[in-house]
Structure 1
Amino acid sequence: MLLNSNLEKISETKTLCIKKDLMALRHWLTKLEENHQELDYLQLIHKKIIQDSETAYNLQQVRRKNTLAFASLCKYEQELKKVLEYSYGMYDLGLANHHEKKRVEFINTDKSFFDFKISFYKKLSKYSIR
């Protein structure tokens, strides 16, 4: 009886941790979707105003990095859902470290996007409206 109770607590804790990871992951995916939408508008501004090859290349690189990160996080979401549904045992250090690596991947992608926006806005601010 005590063993079953302990196993149930371990399973509940693991389920809670994975659900927490899934909530964080959903936030990251939403943010990357928003970034992608913003990139669409930055591309329109680039085509109408800035029109230089360096910015076009940087825009393409940021879009590619955003898309790859989004795909990687979608795959990670599938992995977490499988672990939640089929796996038994504890939420171990391996799962926590994997989640942390994905978090760092998201942060780096978002930072690249932010850095690009700053450089884009600096270029845009050099233009005058007539």
Structure 2
Amino acid sequence: MAETMNMRLIMVEDGSAKFEANPTERHYNPQMRVHGGYAATLIDSAMGCAVQTKLPADAGYGTIELKVNYVRKIDGNTGRLECIAHVIHSGRSMFTADAKVVGGQGQLYAHGSGTFMVYPK
């Protein structure tokens, strides 16, 4: 997925993770804009990695709810994006997190939140 989306993990700390991505025309939908799934996948990936930092190495997790707000169009001229995610709640079996997708000048492109279920060991 990272290769297809032209994204990579660039930072991970306790309870947070950051990805960078470079959308291009190959990510366009029929309206000649980057497909909304691009930002959604970026947000979900960053939040999932942030959640993973709070779990033991042998624990699994999965997204059970994802909410994304799109606030600015993304196209082939947008340039490099960063997505930073933070864990909001870490429970025994459920986690919540949020994330923002921003451009090089700090402009917001999308933001979202998610709920993650922890799988038993």
TM-score (norm 2): 0.29
More strand by share: 2
Larger Rg belongs to: 1
Q: Which has the higher contact order (CA 8 A, sep 6+)?
A: 1
